[in-house]
């Protein structure tokens, strides 16, 4: 598992430098622009999709064939992709969270529950998008799965917009703390179910 994670980090460093610059730009844009809430969520979505990109490279570079020779279960490979994805989302949330915390402190609006709510949404959405796409990519392969990937990205971004518009109404029905637990609990459960489905799909795949 650790070896696979190291491989993915090396690949990310090498192939995705421009991508990481875009993420960094979005994080910083959230600081400079008053209306850039969208930019707070976008990095988590992008980083959450990272395991899909990594899987594409593994498929293209025949690593999946080599995998059958390595001393690990197929499930380990799937687990690594989910852990890698979660680490990426956490990384993006940590970066945007830091920026948002500084921004809120500077304008005197920092309230812990508000801050937690603001940061919960990217964390949850960052996990939801790969939860849907990863099983399909493992099932269909990168080429066929690409369309699904784009579709899910579009739905995820639309969801953010809708949620942002309805945000205040939600808070009337349930308080912020409940919302944080609901979002995080739901996303985690979905992520876990997705991992189970992907593991089953990959167990049956032959390379």
Partner 1 sequence: MNAVEIRDLCKSYKEFELKNINLTLPSGCIMGLVGENGAGKSTTIKLMLNAIKRDGGTITILGKDNRENFELTKEDIGVVLDEVGFSECLTAKQVGKVMQNIYKNWDAPVFEQYLTQLKLPRDKKFKEFSKGMKMKLAIAVALSHHAKLLILDEATSGLDPVIRDEVLDVFSEFTRDENHAVLISSHIVSDLEKICDYIAFLHEGKLMLCEEKDALKEQYAIIRCSEEILGAISKDAVIGKKISPYGVEAIVHRSEIPSEVEISPVDLEQLFIFMVKGER
Taking contact as CB under 8 A, which single stretch among the options 59-67, 91-99, 160-168, 170-178 is the one that binds partner 1?
59-67
Q: Which is nearer to partner 1, 56 or 188 (CB)?
A: 56
Work out how close the CB of 136 gets to partner 1 at its nearest, in angstroms, rounded to a whole number. Answer: 22
Q: Give least dist CB 10 to partner 1, A.
A: 5
4-43 mask for partner 1 (x: CB under 8 A)?
x-xx--xx--xx----------------------------
Helix or strand or coil: residue 186?
Answer: helix
Q: Which is nearer to partner 1, 63 or 195 (CB)?
A: 63
Q: What is the C-alpha separation between 172 and 102, in angstroms, rounded? A: 27
Minimum CB separation of residue 66 from partner 1 in Å reads 3
Q: Is 73 in the site for partner 1 (CB under 8 A)?
A: yes
Among 41, 42, 55, 63, binds partner 1 (CB under 8 A): 63
Q: How many CB atoms lie within 10 A of CB 91?
A: 16
The CA distance from 96 to 109, in Å, is: 16
Closest to 128 in 3D by CA, of 160, 164, 175, 91: 160
Q: Does 70 bind partner 1 (CB under 8 A)?
A: yes
Backbone angles phi, psi at 25, to 5 degrees: -60, -45
SS3 for 172?
Answer: helix
- In whole angstroms, the minimum distance from the beta carbon of 203 to partner 1 comes to 10
Cβ-based nearer residue to partner 1, 66 or 164: 66
Interatomic CA distance for residues 204 and 207, integer angstroms? 10
Span of 2-10, 98-106, 159-167, 194-202 interacting with partner 1 by CB under 8 A: 2-10
Instruction: Kindly list the residues in this chain that would bind partner 1 in the complex (CB under 8 A).
Output: 2-4, 6-7, 10-11, 14-15, 57-58, 61-73, 206-207
């Amino acid at each position: 598992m650790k070896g696979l994670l190291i491989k993915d980090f090396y690949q990310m460093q090498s192939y995705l430098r421009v991508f990481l610059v875009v993420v960094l730009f979005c994080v910083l844009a959230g600081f400079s622009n008053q209306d850039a809430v969208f930019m707070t969520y976008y990095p988590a979505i992008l980083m959450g999709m990272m395991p899909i990109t990594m899987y594409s490279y593994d498929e293209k570079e025949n690593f999946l064939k080599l995998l059958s020779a390595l001393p690990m279960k197929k499930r380990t490979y799937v687990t690594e992709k989910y852990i890698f994805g979660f680490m990426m989302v956490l990384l993006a949330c940590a970066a945007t969270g830091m920026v948002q915390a500084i921004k809120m402190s500077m304008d005197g609006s920092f309230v812990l529950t508000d801050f937690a709510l603001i940061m919960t949404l990217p964390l949850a959405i960052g996990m939801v998008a790969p939860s849907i796409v990863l099983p399909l990519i493992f099932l269909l392969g990168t080429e066929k799965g690409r369309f699904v990937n784009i579709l899910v990205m579009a739905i995820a971004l639309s969801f953010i917009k809708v949620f942002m518009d309805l945000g205040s109404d939600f808070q009337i029905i349930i308080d912020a703390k409940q919302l944080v637990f609901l979002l995080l609990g739901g996303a985690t459960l979905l992520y876990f179910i997705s991992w189970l489905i992907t593991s089953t799909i990959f167990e049956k795949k032959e390379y």
